[in-house]
């Protein structure tokens, strides 16, 4: 189990001690920003405008949804008693897409992942909005490799973002097709 | 094994071996291995597990030229112990090195980025080697094992979990070094490291120069109290002064500093290592580090153009990310200066394009993006840059 410590830390950093609930295979609303069609059932952790869905456990694979991130908000909560308040990356509404990818990469690095790389940044539709896609690769503290793919858009200065990631050899490919269909089902609210 | 589990295992192993006779602890001899029933063998066993974990972590830099160079400096300092030390270059920002009682030496890339010459590296390696030769971990363990302080012995290993973004990594380092040494042990390691570097012909003044740089970085840091290096190494000015005093006492013969060989093996990594440092987003610390690197490059002139282009680019990156008042203008100037050296990475052009675009200088942005694509035809973000060009 310790091989999956980093994603669990990421999960806890986001959601504290909230409980999983069932996501049914039907259209789901994320925050008050957009909706997606779930292709299968997932387990959901939710806090405010951030959700994490997983089928087999956050250490194996997860979909992370951010809805309407505002200026100054972060992907992860600052840890008490640390310098995170000053140094954890914050979203800025004047960021270019290149800088948004950098924001995600640096945030993941600060959450405990290592060798985080963002690549293949390209334009992509996020529902009816003009958005972006990019790919991710990273490793846990014990060297287990993960892959990820992200889609997002800035709508009225707020960042909508979905990140799917999973262990490179099995779990990432396992739900990749479901994730692609979910990405194409995005509808802005 | 989780850190807390590792600490528990250490306690069980060492307390189980607690009947070992006390008395004067001699320096470890070259090639010596502790007897199996000793508490020292227990320490070695736990360290071997930590070593396995480090090897699996993906953090070990696999560059035979770099590792061979650092190991070579170590062997020059102490040929007798050369074969007893297993060196790992660990990919991690921040200045740090640690020596485990079984001769496992961790040197972080943040340290290799910062040492400005071979003399400074030799001082650090000599210092760490002294911890091994003098069996400091074993001495510390035997001093505290029968007291309430025995929990303090492991304090650093447990506290590592709370130290910033390198939490998991520092646990590895903590188990590598096992604990913070006592003040007297640090002083002794300083003296031996100093004697070792001087005897090998390195300029002894560089020990103090290195120490002063680290103090300056800490003072500029957003979080000086949680400095990874100083959490295990007492950082008073007194230590810098004592190094200066030692340097004043050595004879007047000429000493070497040597920057070229160090730069030859580290420069290919500087881009990645500077990026690692910037990701900490401790801008005050980063700026001080850049200033020192730039000054040392200017002093020697060796490969200075190549290094300066990169340093100026990262100075621009620092201003862009910090985003304080006037930082966009400062970033723009730094990127321009970097490009003017002819040695800036292609990303400097992309960064210029993004800044010009933000300032509505569309023609300048277009030219910069086009230069980026010309310099980097296979750029992974080509599709996005072409999209930007379409919007200008």
- pTM, rounded to two decimals: 0.86
Q: A89 and B281: CB-CB below 8 Å?
A: yes
Given this model, what pLDDT does residue A5 score?
47
- What's the CA gap between B373 and B350, in Å, rounded? 8
| CA-based nearest distance B380→chain A, Å | 5
Residue A120 has pLDDT above 80, yes or no: yes
Average pLDDT over residues B350-367: 96
Q: A114 and B381: CB-CB below 8 Å?
A: no
Q: What is the pLDDT of residues B277-309, one digit of tens each?
A: 999 999 999 999 999 998 877 665 545 556 789
Q: Sorting pLDDT into bands at 50, 70 and 90, what band is B57?
A: confident
| CA-based nearest distance A162→chain B, Å | 18
| CA-based nearest distance B126→chain A, Å | 29
pLDDT, averaged across chain B = 82
- Chain B residues whose beta carbon lies within 8 Å of the beta carbon of residue A89: 281
Q: Which of B162, B358, B387 sits opposite A123 (nearest CB)?
A: B387
Q: Which of B222, B280, B384 sits opposite A123 (nearest CB)?
A: B384
Q: Sorting pLDDT into bands at 50, 70 and 90, what band is B232?
A: low
Q: Is ipTM strictly over 0.95?
A: no
Edge to edge, the sheet with strand A187-188 lists: A27-30, A34-37, A187-188
CB atoms within 10 A of CB B147: 10
Chain B contact residues (CB < 8 Å to A)? 1-2, 53, 56-59, 91, 162, 164-165, 167-169, 222-223, 226, 279-282, 323, 350, 354, 357-358, 380-381, 383-384, 387-388
Q: Which of residues 123 through 152 in chain A touch B, CB cutoff 8 A?
A: 123, 132, 139, 141-143, 145
Do the beta carbons of residue A32 and residue A65 sit within 8 Å?
no
Residue A2 has pLDDT above 50, yes or no: no
Q: What is the pLDDT of residues B250-266, one digit of tens each?
A: 766 778 889 889 999 99
Given this model, what pLDDT does residue B369 score?
97
Q: What is the dihedral of CA A137, A140, A144, A145, to 10 degrees?
A: 0
Q: Which of A89, A114, A132 sits opposite B59 (nearest CB)?
A: A114
Q: Name every residue whose Cβ is closer than 8 Å to that of residue B334 and which is 6 or more positions away in sequence.
A: B312, B313, B315, B316, B319
How would you classify residue B351: left for phi > 0, otherwise alpha for psi between -120 and 50, otherwise beta? alpha
Average pLDDT over residues B160-178: 45
Percent of chain B's residues with pLDDT above 70: 78
Q: B164 and A82: CB-CB below 8 Å?
A: yes
Query: In a 10 Å sphere around its CB, with 0-12 CB exposed, 13-18 middle and 19+ buried, how is residue B91 labelled?
Result: buried
Residue B187 has pLDDT above 60, yes or no: yes
**A52 forms bridges with which residues in the sheet?**
A45, A64
Q: How far is CA B288 from the centre of its chain?
A: 15
Q: How far is CA A71 from CA A48, A158, A159, B55, B354, in A?
A: 16, 7, 9, 40, 19
Average pLDDT over residues B45-71: 90
| From A72-76, B96-100, B243-247, the region with the lowest mean pLDDT | B243-247
Please tell me which residue of chain A has the smallest CA distance to B350: A98
Residue B1 has pLDDT above 50, yes or no: no
Q: Sorting pLDDT into bands at 50, 70 and 90, what band is B231?
A: low
| CA-based nearest distance B193→chain A, Å | 32
Q: What is the pLDDT of residues B296-354, one digit of tens each?
A: 776 655 455 567 899 999 999 999 999 899 999 999 999 999 999 898 999 999 999 99
Q: How far is CA B295 from the centre of its chain?
A: 19
Q: Give yes or no for A117 touching B (CB within 8 A).
A: no
Q: Which of A88, A112, A121 sits opposite B167 (nearest CB)?
A: A112
**Helical segments of B57-154, H only:** 64-77, 109-114, 118-133, 136-144, 150-153
Q: Sorting pLDDT into bands at 50, 70 and 90, what band is A53?
A: very high
Q: What is the pLDDT of residues A125-147, one digit of tens each?
A: 999 999 999 999 999 877 899 99
Q: How far is CA A134 from CA A58, A139, B75, B130, in A?
A: 21, 17, 46, 48
| CA-based nearest distance A57→chain B, Å | 19
Given this model, what pLDDT does residue B79 score?
94
Residue B181 has pLDDT above 80, yes or no: no
| From A83-92, B119-128, B274-283, B376-385, the region with the lowest mean pLDDT | A83-92
Q: B57 and A142: CB-CB below 8 Å?
A: yes
Residue B121 has pLDDT above 70, yes or no: yes
CA dihedral (B45, B152, B181, B116) positive or negative? positive
Given this model, what pLDDT does residue B230 score?
65
Please tell me which residue of chain A has the smallest CA distance to B280: A87
Q: Give yes or no for A94 touching B (CB within 8 A).
A: yes
- What's the CA gap between A103 and A94, in Å, rounded? 12
Residue A188 has pLDDT above 90, yes or no: yes
Q: B279 and A112: CB-CB below 8 Å?
A: no
| CA-based nearest distance B388→chain A, Å | 10
């Amino acid at each position: 189990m310790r091989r999956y410590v980093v994603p669990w830390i990421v999960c806890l950093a986001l959601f504290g001690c909230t409980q999983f609930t069932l996501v049914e295979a039907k259209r789901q609303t994320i925050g008050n920003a957009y909706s997606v069609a779930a292709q299968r059932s997932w387990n959901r952790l939710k806090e405010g405008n951030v959700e994490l869905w997983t089928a087999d456990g956050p250490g194996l694979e997860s979909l992370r949804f951010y809805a309407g991130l505002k200026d100054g908000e972060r992907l992860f909560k600052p840890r008490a008693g640390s310098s995170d308040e000053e140094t954890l990356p914050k979203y800025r509404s004047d960021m270019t897409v290149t800088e948004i990818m950098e924001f995600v990469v640096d945030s993941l690095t600060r959450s405990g992942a290592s060798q985080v790389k963002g690549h293949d940044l390209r334009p992509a539709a996020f529902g009816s909005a003009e958005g972006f896609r990019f790919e991710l690769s990273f490793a846990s503290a014990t060297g287990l490799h993960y892959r990820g793919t992200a889609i997002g858009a800035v709508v009225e200065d707020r960042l909508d973002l979905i990140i799917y990631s999973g262990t490179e050899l099995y779990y990432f490919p396992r739900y990749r097709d479901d994730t692609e269909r979910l990405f194409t089902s995005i509808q802005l609210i | 094994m989780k850190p807390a589990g590792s600490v528990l295992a250490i306690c069980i192993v060492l307390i189980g071996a607690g009947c070992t006779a006390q008395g004067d602890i001699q320096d470890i001899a070259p090639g010596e291995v502790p007897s199996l029933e000793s508490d020292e063998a227990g320490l070695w066993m736990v360290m071997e597990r930590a070593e396995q974990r480090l090897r699996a972590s993906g953090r070990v830099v696999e560059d035979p030229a770099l590792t061979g160079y650092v190991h070579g400096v170590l062997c020059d300092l102490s040929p007798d112990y050369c074969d007893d030390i297993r060196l790992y270059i660990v990919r991690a920002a921040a200045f740090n090195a640690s020596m485990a009682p079984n001769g496992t030496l961790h040197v972080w890339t943040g340290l290799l980025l910062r040492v400005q010459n071979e003399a400074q590296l030799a001082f650090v390696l000599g210092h760490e080697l002294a911890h091994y030769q003098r069996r400091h971990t074993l001495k510390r363990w035997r001093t505290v094992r029968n007291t309430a302080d025995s929990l303090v012995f492991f304090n650093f290993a447990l506290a590592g979990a709370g130290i910033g973004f390198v939490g998991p990594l520092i646990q590895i380092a903590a188990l590598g070094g096992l604990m913070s040494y006592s003040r007297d042990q640090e002083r002794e390691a300083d003296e031996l490291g100093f004697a070792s570097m001087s005897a090998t012909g390195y300029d002894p003044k560089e020990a103090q120069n290195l120490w002063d740089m680290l103090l300056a970085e800490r003072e500029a840091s957003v979080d000086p109290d949680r400095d990874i290096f100083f959490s295990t190494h007492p950082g008073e000015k007194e230590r810098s002064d004592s190094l200066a005093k030692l340097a004043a006492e050595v004879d007047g013969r000429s000493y070497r500093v040597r920057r070229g060989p160090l730069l030859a093996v580290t420069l290919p990594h500087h881009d990645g290592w500077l990026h690692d440092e910037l990701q900490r987003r401790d801008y005050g610390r980063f700026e001080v580090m850049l200033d020192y690197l730039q000054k040392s490059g200017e002093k020697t002139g060796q490969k200075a153009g190549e290094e300066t282009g990169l340093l100026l680019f990262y100075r621009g990156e620092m201003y862009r990310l910090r985003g304080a008042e006037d930082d966009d203008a400062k970033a723009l100037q730094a990127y321009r200066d970097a490009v003017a050296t002819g040695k800036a990475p292609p990303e400097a052009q992309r960064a210029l394009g993004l800044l010009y675009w933000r300032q509505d200088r569309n023609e300048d942005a277009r030219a910069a993006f086009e230069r980026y694509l010309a310099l980097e035809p296979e750029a992974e973000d080509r599709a996005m840059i072409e999209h930007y060009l379409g919007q200008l």
